[in-house]
Amino acid sequence: MKKVLFLLLALTLLAPSCKKSDDGGSSFSCNIDGTDFKVEGLGAYAFNFSSYFTIYGVADINGNSSVNLMYMSLPLTATPGTYKMDSSDRNGYYIDPSGGTYSTLWGQGTGTITIDEIDDTHVKGSFEFTPYNSDDETKKKTITGGKFDVLFR
């Protein structure tokens, strides 16, 4: 009986480490003004709202409350294809660790997002955009080489 209880206890403790990750291997990456930005796991995801969905990359900086946050929004009706980030329902945002907020909706912001695959559970594609600062529209960020493969939450 002790062997059976030990085996059950061992299986209970080992089972979580054998379980497939809940994030499904989600990833989000790009280059921001020459610096690599990469998020894997729970910080890379998509979320449906009432009329649009948003793709997120959220990274904790040095284990504190500062974060790099990037997200892009598209209408729920989006299908595979390339979209310009030129309206309130097709846009890109970046918030740097100091709280500076940048968007394609300010200044001369431009960009594109390409959806390669999309279904009820995940979305995969690429992006690049140049967002401008909300407080000083002469300041911008250059975001290139973006890729995402994320699950919907």
Q: Cα–Cα distance between 122 and 73 in angstroms, integer?
A: 15
- Mean pLDDT of the 80-105 span: 94
Q: Amino acid identity of 142?
A: T
Q: What is the pLDDT of residues 38-85, one digit of tens each?
A: 999 999 999 999 899 999 999 876 666 668 899 999 999 999 999 999
Helices (H), ranges, 19-141: none
pLDDT given for residue 65 in this prediction: 62
Nearest alpha-carbon partner for 123 in 147, 149, 146: 149
pLDDT given for residue 20 in this prediction: 36
Q: Amino acid identity of 86?
A: D
State how far the alpha carbon of 23 is from the alpha carbons of 47, 48, 99, 149, in Å: 13, 16, 27, 11
Q: Cα–Cα distance between 102 and 137 in angstroms, integer?
A: 9
User: Model's pTM, two decimal places?
Assistant: 0.81
How do strand 143-151 and strand 67-75 relate by DSSP bridges? unpaired
Q: Cα–Cα distance between 27 and 37 in angstroms, integer?
A: 11
133: part of which helix (H) or strand (E)? strand 132-133
79: tokens are 């299908």
Residue 87 above 50 pLDDT?
yes
Residue 18 above 80 pLDDT?
no
Q: What is the pLDDT of residues 101-141, one digit of tens each?
A: 999 999 899 999 999 999 999 999 999 999 999 999 999 99
